[in-house]
Amino acid sequence: MEHLEFVGLAPLAFRPATSLTLPSRKRLELAKSLAMKPRVLLLDEVNAGLNTSEIEQALALMRAIAARGITIMLIEHLMKVVLSL
């Protein structure tokens, strides 16, 4: 539950994953990864299919993950994302 709260999905915790929107499913995948207590997180095109607002939220989440001391390795074709991180 701690990781769902961190990614902003606590209110949706008991809904089936298949009922979540694309951005919420991406956040769920991040929560699952964070539950493994990684020191390095590999992210591959995590912003694919997201609109500008959703990308901004994803960037804020990536910054919050990095602030926890987790190293992020990012594969991304959106240069706005790469340059802002």
pLDDT at residue 76, rounded to an integer: 94
Distance of CA 72 to the CA centre of its chain: 11
Q: What is the pTM of this model?
A: 0.88
Q: Quick one: 31 exposed, middle or buried, by C-beta within 10 A (0-12, 13-18, 19+)? A: buried
* Per-residue pLDDT tens digits for 47-78: 999 999 999 999 999 999 999 999 999 999 99
* Per-residue pLDDT tens digits for 20-46: 999 999 999 999 999 999 999 999 999
Q: Kindly state the tokens that stand for 11.
A: 């209110």
Q: Which helix (H) or strand (E) holds 44?
A: strand 40-44
